[in-house]
């Protein structure tokens, strides 16, 4: 079970969003399990072709994930996963 934290910006669309323990062996599996708790959130994080949205960043154990295309980075128990929005202007 990874410990998942979210940017507060997502709370506007998912008001009950909170730091949580989520199962999953990869980033993709973890996100799919988050979707079960917060239906619809997956579409906010990944594009319809499966890649991470351009202006979304996910940090695993303090590092940006390497695989933004298929989200296949391995997640281990007690890892920390941070879901942030990237900085962008406008």
Give the span between the Cα atoms of 46 and 56, in whole angstroms: 8
Radius of gyration of the chain (CA): 12
Q: Which residue has the tokens 């990874």?
A: 2
Alpha helices by DSSP H, listed for 1-90, are 27-37, 41-45
Q: Is 9 in the site for another protein (CB under 8 A)?
A: yes
Parallel, antiparallel, or unpaired for β 2-6 and 20-22? Answer: antiparallel
Q: Is 86 in the site for another protein (CB under 8 A)?
A: yes
CB of 54 to another protein, least distance (A): 9
# chain residues binding another protein, by CB under 8 A: 19
Binding mask 32-51 for another protein (x = CB under 8 A): --------x--xxx-xxxxx
Binding site for another protein (CB under 8 A): 9-10, 13, 40, 43-45, 47-51, 53, 55-56, 85-86, 88, 90
């Amino acid at each position: 079970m990874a410990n998942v934290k979210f940017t507060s910006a997502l709370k506007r669309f998912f008001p009950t969003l909170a730091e949580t323990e989520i199962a999953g062996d990869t980033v993709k599996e973890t996100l799919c399990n988050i979707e079960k708790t917060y239906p619809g959130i997956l579409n906010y994080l990944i594009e319809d072709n499966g890649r991470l949205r351009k202006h979304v960043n996910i940090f695993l154990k303090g590092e940006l994930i390497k695989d933004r295309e298929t989200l296949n980075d391995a997640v281990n128990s007690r890892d920390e996963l941070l879901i942030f929005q990237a900085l962008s202007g406008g």
